[in-house]
Amino acid sequence: KSSRIKKKEKVFSRVKKRVQTKMMIYLYIIGLFQVVCGLQIGSSRQHMKMVVETVPTRKVISLPAHPDLKTGKLKNGLEYAILKNASPRGRFEAHLEVFAGSADEEENEQGIAHLVEHVVYMGSRKRERLFGTGSQTNAYTDFHHTVFYACCPCEVPGGMLDGSLTALLGGGQRANSAKMLPRALDALCEVLDAQFAPARVEKERAAVLSEMSMVNTIEYRVECQILKALHAENALSRRFPIGLEQQIRAWTVDDVMHFHAKHYRPDNALLYIVGDVDTNQVEQQIEKIFSVLPKANKLPNHESLKVQSRHFPPVLHTWSGGTYNGISNVPGAKKINPDKFLLPLAVPSTNYIPTHTPVRAHVFQHELLQSFSFHLFAKRPIESVTTLQAHRLHVCRRLALAALQVRLNVMARNEPLFSFVEFNYLDSPREACAVCSLDMTADAGRWQDAVTAALAETRRLGEFGITQSELERFGTALVTDSEQLAAMGDQLAHSDQVTHLMEAIACGHTWMDPATAHAATVTAVDAITLDEVNTVARDLCDHVLNFGHEPLPSAMVACAPKYMPDGSIVEIDSETLLQVAERASSMEILPEPEMTVPTTLLTQSEVTELKQKSLELKDKTIDIEPEEAKRVGAFAKKLGNGARIVVKPLSHEAQRGAIRITAAGGRSLEHKGSSQIPPGSIALGCRTLQEGGAFEPWTREQVELFCVDRLIMVEVICVDEAIHIDFQFPTPAPRNGGCTGLEAALQIAHKILQPGAFVWETDALNRGRVVLSQQHETTMRSMEGAAQEMLTSRISGNDFRFLSCSAAIADAVTLDNIKEAMTAIFTPSNVEVVIVGDFVGTTPTEAVELAELYIGSVDAQPISQNSVVVADKNPAESIPIQIRADDEEELKRMHVEDSDPRAVAYIVGAAPNRAGFLADGSALVDAVVGNVLKKNTNSKVSVNIPARWRHPVFATAALALLQEVINRRLFSVVRERRQLTYDANFQLSDNERLLGGWFLVTVTASPANADAALQACKDTLAALRGQHPPSRDNLDSARRVVVNRHLAELTSNKYWCDQLTGTTFESMPSKTFASIADFAAIAEQVTVNDLTAILNFLDNDRVFTCVATSGSSDAAAPTDLNDAHACSHVSLRRR
């Protein structure tokens, strides 16, 4: 019911911050997300209809629980939930949830839950038995719980002493093979029966202190400020999981053991197993392994929201709106004494002068902030969805939210006030409440206009509700979304399943099979009236409608920079914030007008003309490597107009499709002094394309609603070597008629590519300039961003094309520049279109014909004297990336003023690109062969070049394995052995078309340890080429991870789009269909000697290094914040 809570992992994986345009043309609908395979959709819907018709109107109808979800409880109190799931096959996930988080800590225990997490899992010997098996283990601590998990193959990779990956490649389960489940359960069971060796406690104490320094980014501090205001009346405002440094340093081993003994008990935990497993066998293993744990004495009852659900943190809230407005009662429980759990406000209220009412308005300003953000909240009790009536209310809420979100999106695209705006209502078990939130980011110079506009639009929904056409439109979209989930069945990823299962159980929602859930949604949508939805809409916006009167918002928070880019002060305080809210509450508002939405972007006569045009070019269409394409189940053609198409049917994501349009070139085509593709024209052109969306004769709003009706999402991405336009969409036609999702997406693609069809608008250009300017300023004010920008400048010779686009560059670009540059780069001969998906109602042949129709009919760029002709080029003509040595200034230092000390260090050096080409245009394999031949010049023994070296995917596979090996070595040496860092990461650049590439090592540490950590990383890289080369065990472990990941991702439309991109470009000769088909097999053949040979082409001797620090001075940091930890910290942000 609530959105996913994803674990946040900081990985700065590139030397530079790529310019990516990621605003979507989308409908932000969160449908009922209840999963797992069940009944046939038709039979479930008919059954639900019969149930509704045969039960009296006022009778409460309970939602049916999923018949295959198995739950149970051991005698010692441990509860478990088991769910058989099909994707990815041959794997499972085991998650142990302990109901002890930071909110359960006493006043003198702030951070101890997080420390216990480190000690019990990092110190687990049984967890170490999972290493090298293709498993991933981790843990995280939140307000309400601590979770330990293991994601494993179903079988131990036995018989792999020779490095064979036959079992993984086959994907099946071998007879009489050892099972991984007992190992995973043993590791999780040891969490509840952990040992606390003093050395381990001290090691993890240092890890936690180091992590405290690393996570303290400006984004984290903003999250803390928001939560501090939202939950000012309870412990959540004071119990952030990272804890307090003074207390962490002071605890004894006995203190840590005491917290563990109190909370880590079988009756205070729940075990989830989701995956490709036999439910009965799993239950037997749970009984066998966990029953040895003794039953503990009962925990005392909390007079808090734990009464409602033990999954909730022990807090109380002051509710805003609804039945419980202004009080702190627990739904379903007797009135309780709030004295212990309601605390003095952590953030004081401000007097709202018009009504003399205290409102919790909070302002946070910081010099590192670049943009303004505003957050308005109302907290409500979580309402369990267990009946059809409750589900109907939930659907009404989703419809109202969808309508408001689209209105906000349209408003944001008409007026460049917002870079992001969202109104939502989410159940949040981590906070023990449902949160209604209005969140937005905007230009700090226009924050008052932005807040006023967003509040006024929210008032409009509450005052007038949604329109009849919106009810029909979003009802159709919600049913389409639900139908896709039902069609997916048990093909959703294990990780998604377990996340949503945990949240549903925590909130007390009925967990239905997807077909029944879809039937319930259809039943609700068909019965809901406009008045019913608008009553719910008014309730959602109640705290905004009469601002300053009851119900009051739970909190309003503004976060702003202290200064504008020109140095002027940003004027804002709580009183001013409330004055803006008053202005918005008194503005005159009018009802939302009805709007005509097209069911197709092209008329039948226009489609007929396109058919005729594509038929005229039919004889010029040729198949591309048909036999090789057939190996991966794809169809590839070069059309008569020069465009290439690749169509790949894939049924794993039922009723879902994806399209990627790729235009070769990207920012590398920009040139100084060029009047046709000047600096910034491609970057700003992509951003303008994203911000626009009008196609004659349709307005931007009509096109956006056309996408809304079909749940089409479009994302424009600009990188150095290409432009990508990604589409995601349902493939069937919507309930309200019109063309299929595939045809609708191809119509949009045609309009984008066809010269003169897309309307390039000045206001979209201006919004694009604002976004690029904000991105650049944010980069330069960030310690990590500024350091990466400096390194990028050094390795590229200050080439503007590889740097973020500044305001000065963007302002110099005209609308005509953009039109000419984008028209040139989208000429058909420079374009590849990849289509992947489950083409419901469309055969693969028909899908190819649709692609030929809409892509093959795109006109080539009109050639004139001043036209820019862009064509896919041979790699030798592409732009090489050179690492320029600067021996006199090898180490660069930079410092960012900040209130808190942090540090990060970087190493960057030359490397092949991902396809295996060096900066001079030679192939990595040829260079390796040359070295071998040179080494054996005087030998009489003939040299046999292995066949694998000549395979087009060899370099790609070997580099992927090498990256994994180096990351494991950095972890072992820099983190575990030398204890100098929390995070050390090695990453190869992503470019496949531009010649050459680079590697980047990122290491976080305290400012005092940054130089030592940097040197340790350099020493580790040197050792790999010298005294301690990669071992057979290193390679085998890396191989399991890389191949396992590849095989699992092959069920994803997006991954197939990534893999197929470039397979038809002449400039990417190593990207072939055979590369995809043979990746796993070639990865199995790579040897230690192969990796050793390739290591010689990572230039460790000529590297650029940088140490970046933040704080009041370079020395402003403790000297003993060491770390060695592999657990993840969670984001404080509600997802």
Tell me the pLDDT tens digit for each residue of 453-488: 999 999 999 999 999 999 999 999 999 999 988 988
Question: What is the torsion angle, in degrees rounded to the nearest 10, for the CA atoms of residue 782, residue 783, residue 789 and residue 793?
Answer: 150
pLDDT for res 843: 92
CB neighbour list of residue 760: distance below 8 Å, 6 or more residues apart: 688, 692, 815, 818, 819, 822
For 986, phi then psi, to 5°, come to -115, 130
CA–CA distance, 942 with 955 (Å, rounded to integer): 24
pLDDT for res 298: 75
C-alpha separations of 1026 from 322, 930, 1100 in Å: 69, 20, 12
Q: What is the Cβ-side half-sphere exposure of residue 104, based on CA atoms within 13 angstroms?
A: 29
- Reading across the β-sheet that carries 79-84, which strands appear in turn? 70-73, 79-84, 269-275, 91-98, 146-153, 136-141
CA–CA distance, 904 with 791 (Å, rounded to integer): 13
pLDDT for res 940: 53
Least confident of 325-339, 485-499, 525-539, 794-808: 325-339
Closest to 692 in 3D by CA, of 545, 539, 819: 819
Q: How confident is the model at residue 871 (pLDDT cuts 50, 70, 90)?
A: low
User: Is pLDDT above 90 for 73?
Assistant: yes
832: tokens are 């590849």
Model-wide pTM > 0.95: no
Tally of CB atoms within 10 A around 250: 10
Closest to 859 in 3D by CA, of 600, 699, 642: 642
CA–CA distance, 34 with 497 (Å, rounded to integer): 9
pLDDT for res 282: 97
Tally of CB atoms within 10 A around 326: 11
Residue 159 gets the label, from left (phi > 0), alpha (psi -120 to 50) or beta, of: left
Tell me the pLDDT tens digit for each residue of 796-816: 888 899 999 999 999 999 999
CA–CA distance, 138 with 127 (Å, rounded to integer): 10
Q: How confident is the model at residue 34 (pLDDT cuts 50, 70, 90)?
A: very low
Tell me the pLDDT tens digit for each residue of 666-689: 998 898 877 778 999 999 999 999
Average pLDDT over residues 559-571: 92
CA–CA distance, 41 with 489 (Å, rounded to integer): 10
Residues 1046/1079, Cβ–Cβ less than 8 Å: yes
Q: What radius of gyration do the chain's Cα atoms show?
A: 29
User: Is pLDDT above 90 for 605?
Assistant: yes
C-alpha separations of 715 from 660, 691, 708 in Å: 10, 10, 14
Tell me the pLDDT tens digit for each residue of 738-794: 899 999 999 999 999 999 999 999 989 998 998 899 889 888 888 999 999 999 888
More confident residue, 610 or 8: 610
Average pLDDT over residues 1027-1046: 93
Q: How confident is the model at residue 1114 (pLDDT cuts 50, 70, 90)?
A: very low
- β-pairing, 555-561 with 361-366? parallel
| Helix (H/G/I), strand (E/B), else coil: 835 | strand
Residues 92/277, Cβ–Cβ less than 8 Å: yes
Q: What is the Cβ-side half-sphere exposure of residue 243, based on CA atoms within 13 angstroms?
A: 32
Tally of CB atoms within 10 A around 12: 18
| Helix (H/G/I), strand (E/B), else coil: 487 | helix
User: Is pLDDT above 90 for 518?
Assistant: yes
Catalytic residues: 117, 204
Residues 577/382, Cβ–Cβ less than 8 Å: no
pLDDT for res 550: 92
Contacts 24+ apart (CB under 8 A), 184-187: 184/92, 184/94, 184/130, 184/135, 184/150, 184/152, 185/94, 185/285, 185/286, 185/289, 185/290, 186/126, 186/129, 186/289, 187/124, 187/126, 187/127, 187/129, 187/130, 187/137, 187/150
Tally of CB atoms within 10 A around 588: 5
Residues 729/657, Cβ–Cβ less than 8 Å: yes
pLDDT for res 881: 56
More confident residue, 16 or 921: 921
Least confident of 149-163, 476-490, 571-585: 149-163
User: Is pLDDT above 90 for 850?
Assistant: yes
Name the most confidently modeled range: 28-42, 414-428, 552-566, 587-601.
552-566
Average pLDDT over residues 843-864: 88
Question: What is the torsion angle, in degrees rounded to the nearest 10, for the CA atoms of residue 315, residue 318, residue 321 and residue 322?
Answer: 50
Tally of CB atoms within 10 A around 67: 12
CB neighbour list of residue 891: distance below 8 Å, 6 or more residues apart: 1105, 1106, 1107
Quick check: bond before 344 cis, omega within 30?
A: no
CA–CA distance, 879 with 865 (Å, rounded to integer): 25
pLDDT cut 90: percent of the chain above it: 62
Quick check: bond before 697 cis, omega within 30?
A: yes
DSSP string, 557-617: EEEEESB-TTS-B----HHHHHHHHHHHHHS---PPPP----S-SS-HHHHHHHHHHHHHT
Task: Give the helix ranges, DSSP H, for 171-267.
Answer: 181-192, 198-214, 218-230, 245-250, 253-263
| Helix (H/G/I), strand (E/B), else coil: 477 | helix
Query: DSSP label at 1103?
Result: E
CA–CA distance, 382 with 384 (Å, rounded to integer): 6
CA–CA distance, 822 with 816 (Å, rounded to integer): 10
DSSP string, 92-135: EEEEEEES--GGG--TT-TTHHHHHHHHHHHT-HHHHTTTTTT-
pLDDT for res 890: 65
- β-pairing, 372-380 with 555-561? antiparallel
pLDDT for res 665: 87
CB neighbour list of residue 293: distance below 8 Å, 6 or more residues apart: 76, 78, 189, 192, 193, 266
Query: DSSP label at 243?
Result: -
∠233-239-245 over CA atoms, to 5°?
140
User: Is pLDDT above 90 for 1085?
Assistant: yes
pLDDT for res 300: 66
Question: What is the torsion angle, in degrees rounded to the nearest 10, for the CA atoms of residue 905, residue 911, residue 915 and residue 916?
Answer: -150
User: Is pLDDT above 50 for 18?
Assistant: no
Residues 991/913, Cβ–Cβ less than 8 Å: yes
Q: How confident is the model at residue 1117 (pLDDT cuts 50, 70, 90)?
A: very low
First-to-last alpha carbon distance for the chain, in angstroms, is 12
Q: What is the Cβ-side half-sphere exposure of residue 1078, based on CA atoms within 13 angstroms?
A: 21
Tell me the pLDDT tens digit for each residue of 285-300: 999 999 999 998 876 6
Q: What is the Cβ-side half-sphere exposure of residue 1040, based on CA atoms within 13 angstroms?
A: 25
C-alpha separations of 1073 from 991, 1056, 1070 in Å: 18, 11, 10
pLDDT for res 38: 28
C-alpha separations of 268 from 75, 80, 101, 842 in Å: 13, 11, 12, 51
Query: DSSP label at 387?
Result: B
pLDDT for res 306: 87
CA–CA distance, 189 with 266 (Å, rounded to integer): 9
1101: tokens are 């001797």
C-alpha separations of 432 from 307, 554, 854 in Å: 11, 14, 50
Least confident of 203-207, 738-742, 757-761, 1016-1020: 203-207
Residues 689/706, Cβ–Cβ less than 8 Å: no
Helix (H) or strand (E) holding 51: helix 41-54
Residues forming beta bridges with residue 373, ordered by sequence position: 441, 559
Q: How confident is the model at residue 938 (pLDDT cuts 50, 70, 90)?
A: low
- β-pairing, 79-84 with 70-73? antiparallel
More confident residue, 19 or 845: 845
Residues 1007/903, Cβ–Cβ less than 8 Å: yes
